[in-house]
Amino acid sequence: MLTAAGGASGCDQEILAIAHASVASRLRLWRPPNAVLAGMQRMVLSQMAATTQALEIRGSRRLTGTVAASGGKNAALAILATSIMAQGPVVLEGVPQVGDVHTMLGLLQRLGSQIAVHRCGSDGDLGPYWLHLQHPTDGDGQVDADLVRQMRAGFCLLGPLVARYGRACIAMPGGCRIGPRPVELHLAGLSALGAKVEYHSGFITATASKLRGAVIDLTGPCGSTVTGTINVMAAATLATGRTIIRGAALEPEVVDAARFLNSLGADIRGAGSSTLEIHGVDCLGGGSYRAIPDRVEAATLLIAGAITAGEVTVTGVTPRHLDAVCRTLREAGAEVELGLDRVTVAVPRPLNGFRVTAEPYPGLPTDLQAPLTALAAVAQGRSVLRDRVFPHRFAHLTGLRQLGARVARHGDAAVVDGGGYALDRQGVTQTVAATDLRGAAALVLAGLARTGFTQVCDIAHLDRGYQHLEAKLASLGADIARVAVAADDTARLMPLWAARSA
């Protein structure tokens, strides 16, 4: 059932232009034709090349209060990609305003989708998006290479495109630099469904007049694959007959994508377990859907409360999705209280060191390894944080060290000798550069705990996945501000900082 655009309570009726960068999302145009959009995106890219943004943080403020979680970034991305199979209009609510969502909308728009974007709530920039999508009835499945190289989730278009249009051509995806990110399980799954999959000069082409059901195993060396499960599961919904996927990822984002596809008429059973059974249907209709809350953003905000010895409640969450991080916070000595749709963390006494291993769901998410490493830096004693999903995901350690953390890498683990709440007591101004999305969050968290000023540069990484994190942190009492700087002149930040600290 499609919700009419005009019927959205709390949503303004402004239709915004689609763009793939947050700067562009502020340009207000009525459904721009392709030429206008392309010009707009070029302009945004040149603006982005000329300036970059940084966060300035004056740390050591105890965060307290209540803040709402945004819609799930990775859930929304998977839903947007798989929605291309819908023949009817699709309405998506609660979509976070983050860079990767803009990139995905750009990808869909280039594929011919009609998209209208509404901003919800009175707080404009801070509210979620409410999207109306109508995908084309026909297409050549040619995915924009520049955009798909900017993130991982664009690769989730491969299966849906070949299932709907019989052809997909897509560049190898980009995304955070967190170690090797192969796609052979995606390709093996689609081949098993009967697609002819070819690789040539950095592009994958998949073709099939009609996919057919198969038995597929998606177990990889580090567990299953989240986006791979979504890609193959989605394609199988339009295959002839029955598909069994063994070794399916259990992550809530996979379950959410399955629920979304079922709401369009797909027949996917077993989502949330390691075996999926999919009965192919002829076509998918339209519908309206709201993605699950962002469990990684919610956990990041809880860690912000803990790292400042504060008391923070995050609302609008699914607490069971946060089980693993709540266990870790408790192990570190924090008090954690669960409500129906909220989690509160409080730190009445100094934290102690903890040992955790990032694993596939329901284990601790790899996406929280970096934020928790920042937390370990203020705990008393030694912590060990192992990452079994992405064993090379440690680029953030350099920045954390610059901010005063005593951390060393040992193979697939970070070993942190926490100094209690003494992260850089000298109050020195320190500039660090973000290297990836969750690493950027870790640097911001460490900045909140430091006595001095912290400048976190290159926060385009952060903006890919957190919707105005600084505004949420400021609402909890953090002294944090966003500043624009010339990309080639981050040194100009220094006088600005001197002025702020005076």
The per-residue b/e assignment along 305-325, b for 16 or more CB within 10 angstroms, e otherwise, is bbbbbbbbbbbebbbebbebb
- Taking the least distance from each CB to ligand EPZ, the nearer of 303 and 309 is 303
DSSP 3-state of 127: coil
| Shortest Å, Cβ 437 to ligand EPZ | 5
Q: Rounded to whole angstroms, how far apart are CA atoms 438 and 425?
A: 25
β 275-279/267-269 pair status = antiparallel
Q: Rounded to whole angstroms, how far apart are CA atoms 115 and 441?
A: 30
- Taking the least distance from each CB to ligand EPZ, the nearer of 101 and 268 is 101
Q: Which residues bind ligand EPZ (CB under 6 A)?
A: 74, 77, 152-153, 176, 180-186, 220-223, 225-228, 249, 251, 253, 365-367, 389-390, 437-438, 465
| Shortest Å, Cβ 393 to ligand EPZ | 8
Radius of gyration for the alpha carbons in the chain, expressed in angstroms and rounded:
22
- Taking the least distance from each CB to ligand EPZ, the nearer of 100 and 470 is 100
**CA 173 distance to own-chain centroid:** 15
The per-residue b/e assignment along 113-142, b for 16 or more CB within 10 angstroms, e otherwise, is bebbbbbbeeeeebbbbbbbbbbeeebebb
* Residue 307 and residue 368 in contact, taking contact as beta carbons nearer than 8 Å: no
Considering only CA atoms, which of 274, 329, 319, 271 is closest in space to residue 295? 319
| Shortest Å, Cβ 367 to ligand EPZ | 4
Task: Tell me the sheet residues that pair with 384.
Answer: 355, 415
Tokens of 372: 């928790």
- Taking the least distance from each CB to ligand EPZ, the nearer of 287 and 365 is 365
DSSP 3-state of 451: coil
* Residue 450 and residue 403 in contact, taking contact as beta carbons nearer than 8 Å: yes
Considering only CA atoms, which of 481, 426, 470 is closest in space to residue 445? 470
Considering only CA atoms, which of 269, 268, 278, 228 is closest in space to residue 248? 228
Residues labelled as active-site residues: 176
- Taking the least distance from each CB to ligand EPZ, the nearer of 56 and 367 is 367
| DSSP letter (8 states) at residue 21 | S
- Taking the least distance from each CB to ligand EPZ, the nearer of 28 and 246 is 246
| Shortest Å, Cβ 156 to ligand EPZ | 8
Q: Which residue has the tokens 């090797």?
A: 180
DSSP 3-state of 198: strand
Q: Rounded to whole angstroms, how far apart are CA atoms 477 and 360?
A: 33
- Taking the least distance from each CB to ligand EPZ, the nearer of 184 and 489 is 184
- Taking the least distance from each CB to ligand EPZ, the nearer of 325 and 351 is 325
- Taking the least distance from each CB to ligand EPZ, the nearer of 160 and 310 is 160
* Residue 453 and residue 429 in contact, taking contact as beta carbons nearer than 8 Å: yes
* Residue 314 and residue 342 in contact, taking contact as beta carbons nearer than 8 Å: yes
| DSSP letter (8 states) at residue 420 | S
Provide CB contacts within 8 A for 435, sequence distance 6+: 177, 395, 396, 398, 399, 458, 461
- Taking the least distance from each CB to ligand EPZ, the nearer of 193 and 334 is 193
- Give the dihedral sign, CA 101/461/415/346: negative
Q: Rounded to whole angstroms, how far apart are CA atoms 317 and 320?
A: 9
* Residue 110 and residue 40 in contact, taking contact as beta carbons nearer than 8 Å: no
